Amino acid sequence: MVKRIAFLFPGQGSQYVGMGKEFYENYPIAKELFHESNNILGIDIASLSFYGPEKELRLTENTQPAILINSIIALRILRENGGVECEIAAGHSLGEYSALVAAGSLSLHDAIDLVRKRGRFMQEAVPVGTGTMSAIIGLNKKEVEDICMKCSSIGIVQPANLNSPDQIVIAGERKAVEYAIQIANENGAKKVVLLPVSAPFHCNLMRSAEDRLGIELKKVRFRDLSFPIITNVDAKKIDLGEDAKASLKRQVSSPVRWDETMRLIVDEGIDTVIEIGPGNVLLGLMKRMNNGIKRLNVEDIKSLERTIEYLQTGRRE
């Protein structure tokens, strides 16, 4: 039976030291794209991906292009070695740029340049240490929204990543987030984790970054998409380049509606999702929502071979 496939692309937080090294050593296209990316960025992003140091890799303006580049290299290798294509795609936050490159809307060169600036703008929007993010597990969207509202007298705090019905990340000013953590624990949250991030993404504190990125986006050509993607900001399908550009601007200070995005993929009749790039966080979220969809990933040679074998034969180890 022909499989109906969606590509998923990871966002910030999926990076790890060593990502992409196997592909670089075994596939000429990986070496070519890493070298091209090094020239665009003016830094050795390949060495940073392979060897770190981790502290430097975690810097937002390095993390974002590194994840994008590793995701697109994994995509190119999957396409060239497995002939694999998708009907629809989505990317978590930063991953939306990878999805647009995959759909032919955005060139890799332009995407790398944009995400490097995006990372810098987001980092510079809030002084280091004054903002943070926290994951709340075990409370629903309404409960988390109510908590954020209660904390608004302390400072800005808002839902930032709506990852699943019971996993929501909040972002904002540190004191307000810390107060929200306290209330979430008092209200019966199963787990609350302060995230090791350098800035409070996807909340109103990112407005200046959104404005600065909007200026850069106007300079870039976005083509119409070869297949639809689902945007973070609206959780709706788009296939026009101008819609993609507008969505990327609004995305900076708006919550990532990932739960709704995955529900739309299910509603589209997709039976197989492939997470392309470092890590498998997005597969975990999909498993919690719908365990009937086949979940595959491509981040190294072993996962590549496993994915191609399953798609060609229907067998999965």
Catalytic residue IDs: 93, 202
Tokens standing for residue 302? 């072993």
The CA radius of gyration of the chain, in Å to the nearest whole number, is: 19
- The residue with tokens 């994008």 is 68
Strand partners, 8: 90, 275
Helices (H), the chain: 21-26, 28-41, 45-51, 54-57, 60-82, 95-102, 108-124, 141-150, 174-186, 207-217, 241-251, 258-267, 281-289, 301-313
> Tokens in use for 6?
């969606």
Residue 44 makes CB contacts below 8 A (sequence gap 6+) with 38
Number of neighbours of residue 47 by Cβ within 10 angstroms: 12
